Chain A
């Protein structure tokens, strides 16, 4: 098998307050996959994601990048995390602006990114004029603006209602199919993890490490039909069981 984009090798993290968030975490991120980190709150899955983003450094172990260093990375937070004073267009322009691109140079890229998330026509709106789902779309457009080969998402849809969440799940799969981006996605929803991923890493907590990985073999061109398939039910059952076992069998 080809070398992973990034490999976390025996990674541990102890925070300044003494809390051990991760211990001996081994995790490969493979090219082109949709990897979900599934686990209960406080199991260190977000910490692992932040390490891949370079926002946190391991206290033991190491991250090994296939190309020697981290490629361009896109990050989507649990909150939309938009600049409230800037219009949608300027929010998506931000990563390009920080790279030194002029507005004229960035215009086609920003337009494309907004079109990808279905927000063409909202360029001049301010974040607060948008719904929660639309704000999250802007956040995703911003993360995609630099066309990163690796997209990291930290429970991006957790704060959204079920209907919006389902729609964004489908749109994210369509985006993935179009761009081929490798995605690492953190969630605590079993159903979301199975619906979206090609592979699920189930975390156990205190300290966090991987209890089990589950491959979801169904092709990524998934629709609502997939939610009714026996394959889906089977994977949900396995993921739930793994999650329960990881939490020490607590109900």
Chain B
């Protein structure tokens, strides 16, 4: 029943979403709610178009920071995970630091970073810090969960630790890493936004979060919503991107990316 599956997975959620937007629009018009309290979806759309010049620039800044932070988190997270997997004492010594960074809320660290660093660097570091841990811990878990019999087999063939890492541990860790990447991607955006808001009050920065703060000061509520929409879309884009990447890399061999047989 392909048509029915399609209805359930695409048509139905789309219809419900449109209905919700329509209800919002209708309520704003019927109750004559002023735009500085709650703008209608149509006004938010119009603001997106009208302010696109300002907003698109901010969108690019937020996207750049998010992806730069994520890239750094991937390099750092995978790098440390590999170190941890090779030498147990490194893991024991350094894992507590990673945990401390993870459990301390980023909002609390951001003001301090803003004291020490240029605001743009501070935003980048905040986004990096939140994305780093899930990638590190997931990859470390993946590297450690290679099939023990396969590890024995590599020992039997007297494979070096490096070969074992390349041919066995890294491929075995891939599904875990991709799971960490999906979480880290979303968190990098959150970290960038939180830090930008902290930095924004200092009067600097040009990302989407700064636009929200700025528009808030001016009571330009439609523009706040427009910036919010762009942030949501960025989050969705990141999620879809990494879901697609997981599918692409795992579909042939890993259960997580395969349809169950009927």
Contact = CB atoms under 8 A, between A and B. Distances in A.
Contact of B174 (A75, A85, A126): A85
B155 interface: yes
Contacts of B168: 83
A136 B157 CA distance: 19
B163 A98 contact: yes
B156 A81 contact: no
Nearest to A94: B167
Q: Which interface residue of B154, B167, B172 has the most chain A CB atoms within 10 A?
A: B167
Given A94-B167, A97-B167, A85 B156 contact: no
Interface string A25-50: 00000000000000000000000001
A84 B156 contact: no
Point out which of B158, B163, B253 has the most chain A C-beta atoms below 10 A from its C-beta: B253
Contacts of B174: 85
B171 interface: yes
Contacts of A128: 253
B167 A84 contact: no
Contacts, number: 48
B152 A84 contact: no
User: Interface size for chain B: under 10, 10 to 19, 20 to 34, or 35 or more residues?
Assistant: 20 to 34
B153 A126 contact: no
B100 to A, nearest CB: 33
Contacts of B50: none
Contacts of B171: 83, 85-86
A232 interface: no
Interface in A88-107: 94-95, 97-99
Interface of A: 50, 53-55, 73, 75, 77, 79, 81, 83-86, 94-95, 97-99, 126-128
Given A81-B149, A85-B172, 15 more contacts: A55-B152, A55-B155, A55-B156, A75-B152, A75-B153, A77-B153, A81-B150, A83-B167, A85-B253, A86-B171, A94-B153, A94-B157, A94-B167, A95-B157, A98-B163
Interface of B: 147, 149-150, 152-159, 163, 167-168, 171-172, 174, 252-254
